[in-house]
Amino acid sequence: MLVPIELYGLTQRMGHLSPDLAIGWQIGKYVHEFFDGLQEVRIAVAAEGDAAFALSYLSREHGCYGQVTVTETPRPWDFLFYHAVTGTALHFTLIRKHIVLSQGLRSLEPHLAMDKPAVVEIYRTGLDLLVESILKRPVDSFCKIRQIRCRPLLQTAENNSTIRCCRCGKSSFVQNAWDIEGQICCQTCSGLEPAWFMYH
């Protein structure tokens, strides 16, 4: 299987090329092209793993170190990207049936450690075909992608007036409010990661 030279180097570092690594790579490259780079792009992932590792690598190579956040509680997406310059957020939700091995191959997993070379070869071939499929297909064939306008409402720290969040109904200082697709929301309801608000 032919892979991009940069991905090959990452695979050598990891010691394997897994479906999750391919997913993270493909999504990272998609976002890189969408925003014309990864500078000023903040990244959050819903789970630690190979996909998060691939995005962390791409962030270091094409953005700046420390941009990837692994969430501590469940999120309605698998990957979140926020581009501060354009005020654009991208949500990626994986379509599971397109990124997992068939039931037949998964049934072989308990037998992989039983010194059965034929079983290992069948499983490895199926895994390679899945990885190759992920690398060849467009990202929107295995992810639902949602683009959201997401901008801070006001950045004047001296303004102490308040505004009511249209989602939860709670009051928020204007300088902490966000315009989410035309709806004025508090930070909690904005859909962005709490750690990112220190930048605004």
Going from the N-terminus, what domains does the chain have, and what CATH number goes with each? 5-145 (3.30.1330), 153-199 (no CATH)
Q: What is the pLDDT, as a whole number, of residue 175?
A: 86
Q: How many other CB atoms sit within 10 Å of the CB of residue 35? A: 18
pLDDT tens sequence across 139-150:
999 999 999 999
Reduced to 3 states (helix: H, G, I; strand: E, B; else coil), residue 68 is strand
Reduced to 3 states (helix: H, G, I; strand: E, B; else coil), residue 4 is coil
Q: In terms of Cα–Cα distance, which of 30, 33, 56, 57 is closest to 43?
A: 56
Q: Is the pLDDT of residue 179 over 70?
A: yes
DSSP conformational letter for 63: S
Q: In terms of Cα–Cα distance, which of 53, 51, 19 is closest to 129?
A: 19
Q: Which residues contact 166 (CB under 8 A, 6 or more apart)?
A: 183, 184, 185
> Which pTM value belongs to this model?
0.89
Name the average pLDDT for the chain. Answer: 90
Report residue 73: phi and psi, to 5°.
-130, 160
Q: What is the pLDDT, as a whole number, of residue 197?
A: 81
pLDDT tens sequence across 80-130:
999 989 999 999 999 999 999 999 999 999 888 888 889 999 999 999 999
Reduced to 3 states (helix: H, G, I; strand: E, B; else coil), residue 3 is coil
Would strands 79-83 and 68-70 be described as parallel, antiparallel, or unpaired? unpaired
Reduced to 3 states (helix: H, G, I; strand: E, B; else coil), residue 50 is helix
Burial of 160 (0-12, 13-18, 19+ CB in 10 A): exposed
Work out the angle at residue 134's Cα, subtended by the Cα atoms of residues 191 and 131, and round it to the nearest 5 degrees.
125
In the chain, pLDDT over 90 holds for what percent of residues? Answer: 68
